Amino acid sequence: MKRMLKIHSAEDAQIPTASEMKLALQSHGWDVVAGYTCFQMGCPFCEEAEKKLYVNMTSGFHICKCQKFQGPWRHLQDSISVAKRENISLDADENVTKYQDDVERRKEELDEGITRWMESSEFSQLEQRTNGAFKKLFQIEALSDIALNKLNVKVCKKDKKLFLPLHNHEMKISAIKVLEMKKVTRSKQVNLEEATYPRLNPDGLFGYQLLDPNAEAVVLTVNEFDAVAIHQKLQTSVLSLPRGLLTLPQEILPMLEHFKKIFLWFGNDVRSWEAARKFSKKLSSKRCHLIRPLDELPAPLQALNMNIDLRSILKKAQPVAHRSIVSFQNIREEVFRELTDTDQVAGVKWQRFPQLCNMLKGHRKGELTVFTGPTGSGKTTFISEYSLDLCMQGVNTLWGSFEIKNVRLAKIMLRQLSQLNIEKNMEVFDLWADKIELLPLYFLDFHGQQGIKAVVEAMTHAVYVHDIEHVIVDNLQFMVGTSDRNINDRFAVYDAIIATFRTFATRNNCHVTVVIHPRKEKDSDELQTASIFGSAKASQEADNILILQDRRLTSLRGKKYIQVAKNRFDGDLGIVPLFFDKDSLCMSAPPKTRTKKSPKLKKDDNESQVLGAKPVSLTDIFIENDKLAE
């Protein structure tokens, strides 16, 4: 089976503006209507006149209502150009873009899922004891058999799984979602795991088959059981997004185009609130209403369990504000949330680098991290595992590696994910390749020198299409160019690029990690913030500064470690010892040592003194960690 890397290319990023797209479509004599997120027109590919083609006004992605014809803007333009030049009709022939990866494989997987769904039982067909046991297992005791049956939720008694169908624009089943409760290894805890048929990129919406075609408003949830709860109590139009909080696929935006009002009712935790605000921009803020993340406004199923009136919560939905100036009243709830949910506000925690969490507390959106280290010290290897750790926890990640090719980077990440030397264990390649395929991981298709404009355009496109939350740029030097500028001109270019990334992170609420080579220092000297190449702009703009220190050449106990040299979140500084394993290419500590806290540097009012200070007694720290590792 062919393995596909999710590559985001510069070519895909070169999208015309919405007005340019509209003019291009109208130039062919088509009647184009602008909606909330898409242009709509009669599909030139379909013989049936009522079929519509939707063209996303931001990304240019097009998709027919029948879903047979879809692809990026450039494919649509190429198909039209070929048809006009050769004077042929735009029908289902070789000249029409069929943007479908492994079509036969997806169809086979979907057919298998539908077969398993059809062979399963409705809740009303189960014996009372079995019915109660399943509802207790999945914590849905408050949901009625009638509501579950109406939304076609079925149970496989043998495998103890639930099957939930997703429907497409034509009300046909386009995917089957599978829910299963699994015990965590070496723990009594039970987690809910999801899978889908087809396995990759499922499309469609849960509950779409029950929609009133004339409905002007809909409630969106990120959990199928929340959608069942709303349908059970309110009998209103409700849909559940196929990938939850992870991403809002652009393929389903046309299915929501005709709604004048969209109510986003997610959870009342920080991540749900961030996702609701992000998705509202993608759906067009002017029609979106949000359920705010207050304790008295929980998610639908939780509200049903607590006997809270769901209708009263829905009435409290507020439109997304557009004002550029806000009062304290507007942000009061968010301030309260930051004070009470400090752990969530701190961001996503690293699992492989818990000592990093001791200082940075977590990985937060909207921040800029600058990472530096000596040439050949393993910057790419570390930052690869650092980002993979977060990606495995559902952080949508975009990798921009200009120094090494994507295939080589993917090989490194595959070994780090499996913690094996895959080249010596090729029999497990498919197993781990399947697992990395399912991660929300994307790659910029750049290599070598690139202009900042093209890079930022690709990043912006990826944030919209894939809801990217973390961008890694490795490294900044490849955007400066190799011209004969004097040093002051080069510093000015560096400053402009850093300012651009800072603005991008803030505007898109996306974390950007930038790798920058250091100035040339003596091998005996440790790097400091002043060692970052360029002017002081990078260290000033950065929220976090991480320095990979390499003492292998200057110490009998030479080691590598990460120095947290700046932390704007709460000021904690310190070091994280690294443990390189040649087979897995991992630099994280062995599991037995991951709970040990790293030493922190003393805070000082004079930040420059603290950032320039050298850690004390590091040899003892490394010796102690070596003993633990052994």
CA distance 49 to 80: 18
What pLDDT digit, counting tens, does each position of 205-216 carry? 999 999 988 899
- pLDDT: which is higher, 7 or 54: 54
Length, in residues, of the chain: 630
Give the model's pLDDT for residue 2. 34
CA distance 380 to 387: 10
Radius of gyration for the chain, computed over Cα atoms and rounded to the nearest angstrom: 26
**Where do the CATH 3.40.1360 domains begin and end in the chain?**
222-345
CA distance 598 to 300: 41
Give the model's pLDDT for residue 92. 42
What pLDDT digit, counting tens, does each position of 321-346 carry? 654 556 676 667 667 766 766 777 78
Give the model's pLDDT for residue 272. 92
CA distance 424 to 574: 37
pLDDT at 558 over 60: no
Lowest mean pLDDT among 41-50, 269-278, 511-520: 41-50
Give the model's pLDDT for residue 556. 43
- pLDDT: which is higher, 448 or 483: 448
**Where do the CATH 3.40.50.300 domains begin and end in the chain?**
348-629
Instruction: Specify whether the CB–CB gap between 246 and 223 falls below 8 A.
Output: no
pLDDT at 281 over 60: yes
Share of the chain above pLDDT 90, in %: 53
What pLDDT digit, counting tens, does each position of 56-65 carry? 999 999 988 8
Q: Is the four-CA dihedral 135, 140, 144, 146 of positive or negative sign?
A: negative
CATH class, 348-629 region: alpha beta
pLDDT at 492 over 90: no
Instruction: Specify whether the CB–CB gap between 566 and 360 falls below 8 A.
Output: no
The model's confidence at residue 196, banded by pLDDT at 50, 70 and 90, is very high
Which pair of structure tokens corresponds to residue 440?
């929300």
The model's confidence at residue 86, banded by pLDDT at 50, 70 and 90, is low
Give the model's pLDDT for residue 133. 93
Mode of pairing for the β-strands spanning 173-183 and 190-197: antiparallel
Give the model's pLDDT for residue 617. 40
CA distance 281 to 161: 35
Determine the distance from the C-alpha atom of residue 511 to the mean position of all C-alpha atoms in its chain, rounded to a whole number: 11
Give the model's pLDDT for residue 360. 93
Give the model's pLDDT for residue 175. 95
Give the model's pLDDT for residue 552. 64
Closest CA to 168 of 221, 105, 242: 242
Range list of β-strands (E), 153-290: 154-156, 161-167, 173-183, 190-197, 217-221, 238-240, 261-264, 288-290
- pLDDT: which is higher, 435 or 101: 435
CA distance 289 to 318: 5
Give the model's pLDDT for residue 462. 93
Sheet of 62-64, strand order: 33-34, 38-42, 52-56, 62-64, 70-71
Give the model's pLDDT for residue 208. 96
Give the model's pLDDT for residue 148. 96
CA distance 41 to 22: 11
186, burial (CB in 10 Å: exposed 0-12, middle 13-18, buried 19+): exposed
CA distance 133 to 181: 13
The residue-averaged pLDDT of 138-163 equals 94
CATH topology of domain 222-345: Dna Topoisomerase Vi A Subunit; Chain: A, domain 2 (3.40.1360)
Q: Which 8-state DSSP code applies to residue 318?
A: E
CA distance 267 to 302: 9
pLDDT at 620 over 50: no
Beta-carbon contacts of 565 under 8 Å, excluding residues fewer than 6 positions away, are 528, 529, 545, 546, 547, 573, 611
Which pair of structure tokens corresponds to residue 545?
């500064």
Instruction: Specify whether the CB–CB gap between 51 and 72 falls below 8 A.
Output: no
Share of the chain above pLDDT 70, in %: 81
Q: Is the four-CA dihedral 524, 527, 531, 532 of positive or negative sign?
A: positive
260, burial (CB in 10 Å: exposed 0-12, middle 13-18, buried 19+): exposed
Give the model's pLDDT for residue 330. 60
The residue-averaged pLDDT of 597-613 equals 42
Q: What is the three-class DSSP state of 368?
A: strand
Closest CA to 563 of 572, 573, 575, 554: 575
The model's confidence at residue 501, banded by pLDDT at 50, 70 and 90, is very high
On average, the pLDDT of the chain sits at 83
Closest CA to 237 of 221, 254, 223, 253: 221
CA distance 58 to 324: 22
Closest CA to 354 of 20, 68, 591: 591
- pLDDT: which is higher, 486 or 424: 424
The residue-averaged pLDDT of 107-132 equals 94
CA distance 191 to 184: 7
Give the model's pLDDT for residue 249. 93
117, burial (CB in 10 Å: exposed 0-12, middle 13-18, buried 19+): buried
What pLDDT digit, counting tens, does each position of 216-262 carry? 999 999 999 999 999 999 999 999 999 999 999 999 999 999 999 99
What pLDDT digit, counting tens, does each position of 12-38 carry? 556 788 888 999 898 888 899 999 999
The model's confidence at residue 10, banded by pLDDT at 50, 70 and 90, is very low
Closest CA to 399 of 444, 356, 438: 444
Give the model's pLDDT for residue 600. 55
CA distance 268 to 363: 20
Closest CA to 445 of 384, 402, 474, 481: 402
The model's confidence at residue 177, banded by pLDDT at 50, 70 and 90, is very high
